A and B are shown apart, each in its own frame.
Chain A
Amino acid sequence: MAYFTQQLINAITLGAIYGLIAIGYTMVYGIIGMINFAHGEVFMIGAFISLIGFIICGSLGISSAPIAIVLVLLLAMSFSAVYGWAIERTAYRPLRGSFRLAPLISAIGVSIALQNYVQLAQGARPKPGGQIVSGGFNLFTADGFDVRVTWLQIIIVLVTIVLMAGFTWVIARTSLGRQQRACEQDMKMAALLGVNVDRTISLTFVLGAALAAVAGMLFLMYYGVIDFFIGFLAGIKAFTAAVLGGIGSLPGAMLGGLLIGLIEVFWAGYFSSEYKDVAAFAILVLVLIFRPSGLLGKPEIEKV
């Protein structure tokens, strides 16, 4: 039981990170119907900017962890958002209205280019991030096994909950959210009614990139090591989460992220850690086969 609880705590932490990335996929898919394959790379860049931000904070003598975290969070979010904007503007917008697979292929190109760009600029070696937040407390002890919750895990889950709540509010209550939902339903009609479609889509990418950057920072803090290749696997898992929850649905992305975290951690904990990624991919395949619209998604009707 103690081992189970510990795994559950770890899984929720991991799931929170996946959920944050998954939101970017789900929103972009919802609004323009494309898989933003480069989203995982934005997450990776967010992690790198966070790493650089923490080192800068260290050299500026900011020793208080909360201040450093907030500063780095803002830094990573804003500068990754520029990446999200630039990617959409240069690689996807010219392809709107092209044949269906064109944006996906372009996105794969962006992903390859960004990976190698970071590898060139920052080197191929894994970068240790150091420990920003340490310590924690014992929840309880059973069967001679300490169930431990670290402060970091609490921070990760709290940050995720706050961001997701804020985000749900943006989508449900603000004019940006309304415009976004309008574009999702019918882009042409929304444009006719005075919604600036280009701007709305750009903002979707910006918001998605900012959330991915947060996930990148949390990933850096949680695992302590990043390299230029983390975006690929994390991106695919987050996409799986988005599909599992029902692509296009925000609560679905969060639920899917949580489930993927659970599956991965429990598979590694109880079966074999070598095949934990296989488990995640297998889930993706199974979900798409048996429930392509996901857990919370609406079935899609193909229109002629």
Chain B
Amino acid sequence: MGPRLPLMLKDAGLTAFVAAALGIFIVGFRTVDMGGGKGLGFDYHLVDLLVAVVVIFIGRLGLSMAANGLRWPAIVLGVAMIVAGASPMKLPSGFLHWFVALGGMLLVIRAIWPWASDAMGAAARTPSGLALGRAGSKWFGWLLLAFAVLLPFSPVADQKTMDLGVLILTYVMLGWGLNIVVGLAGLLDLGYVAFYAVGAYAYALLSTQYGLGFWTVLPLAGMMAALFGIMLGFPVLRLRGDYLAIVTLGFGEIIRLVLLNWFDLTNGPAGIGSIPGPTLFGAVFAETPPPGKQTVSEMLGIAFNGNHRLIFLYYIILGLALITNLFTQRMRRLPVGRAWEALREDETACQALGINPTNTKLTAFAIGAMFAGFAGSFFAAKQRFISPESFVFIESAIILAIVVLGGMGSQIGVVLAAVLLIGLPEWFRDLGSYRMLAFGLAMVLIMVFKPRGLISHREPSIRLHPAGSGGGG
């Protein structure tokens, strides 16, 4: 411990110094309007900054201790931080309490991580552990499915839960759709929300202007989004990965700006309202039937309950999501699906083998777009009101984060990531901007520590020499 401690202290001091330099103006001097035409003045937060810098110093010291095998001192520091954060001691702001406590927790986790991962590794290597792991990976998906199907009948299924369920499933579907493009074909699409918008506006316009129903428009919206995907994809898919990302980002913004400014068609920023919801065999979900229509409660002879509509929506999106999943699983066994994965791994080799990269990418792009179109018209039917506000870049980033966090190409991973990224923050709605701050930081941390995502095997769908058959490995 002796000789390394000064080095660690120096390192922690440097980190704290950098943090102070980063924060001094942006955090320390909050600009506020003084009122009375005096322009801007300062609201000083230098004490907050000082506390944060001290915390960063201690945290960094603890981290380097943990990294150097000094686990117990690191744990002590972490616990001290948690206690300080949770104590009634008055820090300048509530945020700092959280900052200190969360930092302490991370430090403790980091310090005990080697033990935990050793223990888990050892447990997984025992025969029963192996069997459990195998059964888990086989049945986990089915268990999740059973849970999703039965959720509306469970006692916890109040309105809030069902709303959240619909929201999560929408993102699961979008994640699965984008997974085709990003996970399987390896094309980074930063404008995925554009196709979602196309689907949503297609349904909103066709239903409010021409009176078409949800089930008629659904395939049309998917086709329309796919058409947009082809139109965009055809010229740009020859580009290299990161250029493609920026072009799709630009395209997403173009769509949003057009929606915002084309008043005659889209009603601009005011959006489109009173979009009809989906019907069940022609019956609508309402307390009193509109002229010439039947309500579902009348048709089925049950009492009206506002929750029925939500449960119906829940099953629609569950069905749509499952179709997306099934479709992807099947596609992976077709030549074109194999070609997607091959292209992701090595484009030049694919070209040499006679695969046409542009057409192959185009199918992935169009199919991904199609599912976004389905999800979009579902979104419009669920919300009954859409405006360009719903289709900003950050939505694309969230969907992408779900795919990346899940482990690109992993279907179950997308579900876990959607629950984690959409479900958890939804419980913490009140945190507002802190939520997005944590979201951005989480994206960075995942890339740094687990770049392959939560479910991090990117198994090829097929191997020339199945593992264990004695082929080259």
Contacts and interface: CB of A to CB of B under 8 A. Distances in A.
A114 B400 contact: no
A125 to B, nearest CB: 8
B443 A112 contact: yes
Contacts of B389: none
Interface string A24-60: 0000000000110000000001001101110110000
A236 B164 CA distance: 34
A284 B25 contact: no
B253 interface: yes
Interface string A71-102: 00000000100110110001100110011111
B440 A109 contact: yes
Interface string A241-272: 00100000000000000000000000000000
B148 interface: no
Main secondary structure of the interface of B (DSSP, over half): helix
B443 A285 contact: no
B42 A113 contact: no
Contacts of B443: 105-106, 108-109, 112-113
B24 interface: yes
A111 B190 CA distance: 14
Nearest to A49: B25
Contacts, number: 185
Given A35-B242, A104-B188, A52 B31 contact: yes
B212 interface: no
B235 A289 contact: yes
Contacts of A116: 433-434, 436-437, 440
A212 to B, nearest CB: 15
B261 interface: yes
Given A123-B32, A128-B40, A82 B400 contact: no
A32 B130 CA distance: 42
A288 interface: yes
Nearest to B393: A232
A198 to B, nearest CB: 15
A277 interface: yes
B27 to A, nearest CB: 5
Contact of B448 (A45, A94, A111, A292): A94
Contacts of B451: 95, 98-99, 102
Interface in A272-291: 274-275, 277-278, 281-282, 284-285, 288-289
B250 interface: yes
B254 A282 contact: yes
A110 interface: yes
Q: Is the interface of A mostly helix, strand, loop or mixed?
A: helix
A285 B250 contact: yes
B131 interface: no
A102 B437 contact: no
B204 to A, nearest CB: 21
Interface in B4-59: 18, 21-22, 24-27, 29-33, 39-42, 45
B26 A121 contact: yes
B239 A292 contact: yes
Contact of B188 (A86, A101, A120, A240): A101
B447 A102 contact: yes
Contact of A90 (B247, B404, B434, B444): B444
B245 A114 contact: no
B149 interface: no
B306 interface: no
B439 interface: yes
A295 B440 CA distance: 34
Contacts of A55: 29, 31, 39-42
Contacts of A48: 25-26, 31
Interface in A91-150: 91, 94-95, 98-106, 108-125, 127-128, 130
Contacts of B25: 48-49, 52-53, 79
Contact of B439 (A102, A112, A275, A282): A112
B70 interface: no
Interface string B424-448: 0000000001101101111110011
A45 B21 CA distance: 13
B106 interface: no
B348 interface: yes
Residue among B31, B235, B260, B439 facing the most chain A CB atoms (10 A cut-off)? B31
B440 A111 contact: yes
Nearest to B43: A123
Contacts of B257: 274-275, 277-278, 281
A25 B188 CA distance: 19
A111 B245 CA distance: 15
Contacts of B349: 304
Nearest to B19: A86
B246 interface: yes
Given A120-B437, A278-B257, A288-B239, A49 B26 contact: yes
A122 B448 CA distance: 28
Contacts of B18: 82, 85-86
Contact of B39 (A83, A103, A128, A304): A128
Given A34-B242, A79-B24, A289-B239, 11 more contacts: A53-B25, A95-B451, A106-B444, A106-B447, A108-B443, A109-B447, A113-B441, A116-B437, A130-B39, A282-B250, A289-B236
29 contacts: A34-B242, A55-B41, A79-B25, A82-B18, A91-B447, A101-B188, A103-B447, A104-B245, A105-B404, A106-B444, A106-B447, A108-B397, A108-B400, A108-B440, A109-B440, A109-B442, A111-B440, A112-B397, A112-B437, A112-B439, A113-B437, A113-B443, A114-B440, A122-B31, A128-B40, A274-B260, A278-B254, A278-B258, A281-B251
Interface of B: 18, 21-22, 24-27, 29-33, 39-42, 45, 188, 190, 235-236, 238-243, 245-247, 249-251, 253-254, 257-258, 260-261, 347-349, 393-394, 397, 400-401, 404, 433-434, 436-437, 439-444, 447-448, 451
